[in-house]
Structure 1
Amino acid sequence: MTMEVKIGVQNAARELSVDTDESPDDVLKSLESAISDEAVFSLTDDKGRTVAVPADKVAYLYFTADSGRKVGFGLVTGT
């Protein structure tokens, strides 16, 4: 199941958004490890692209489950 991870970066106006197959626990462990090692936090998306941020500059992570693509303009109800 694909999950979207939004990464807030200190002193950056926009957040980074990455779709990944990793679990939230795995992403958090990776960030914790990068912080303790004073290294770069990197996350690879489901298409093989990698985003890298200095771990000490990560302000927050926001996880959302991908519920699939929505098609159409809204809910149609019959009368």
Structure 2
Amino acid sequence: MEIKIGVQHAPREIVVETNLEADAVADLVRGAGDLLELTDTKGRRVIVPVAKLAYVEIGSPSVGQVGFRG
């Protein structure tokens, strides 16, 4: 699942690829206190202050991607 996070006053969005389902991500965003914390598919954690969130875009599952992946 690809998650795009817009942060206020930041020129680029944060893109996180996670194994969570869309509803689980939405629940994390809704229930976040001061910090939104997500873990990507490689085990890296992304922590964003909730007060600085501009938007969170929850994409479709990443099944059937074609091309090179790092």
User: Shared fold by TM > 0.5?
Assistant: yes
With the length of structure 1 as denominator, give the TM-score of the two structures.
Answer: 0.74
Q: Which has the greater radius of gyration? A: 1
Q: Given the alignment, which residue of 29, 32, 43 partners 2:30? A: 32
Q: What SS does the aligned partner of 2:11 have?
A: coil
How far 1:50 moved relative to its partner? 0.6
With the length of structure 2 as denominator, give the TM-score of the two structures.
Answer: 0.82
Q: Given the alignment, which residue of 54, 58, 69 partners 2:65? A: 69
Length, aligned pairs only? 66
Identity of paired residues, percent? 42
Backbone CA RMSD of aligned residues: 1.3
Structure 1 gaps, min length 5: 72-79
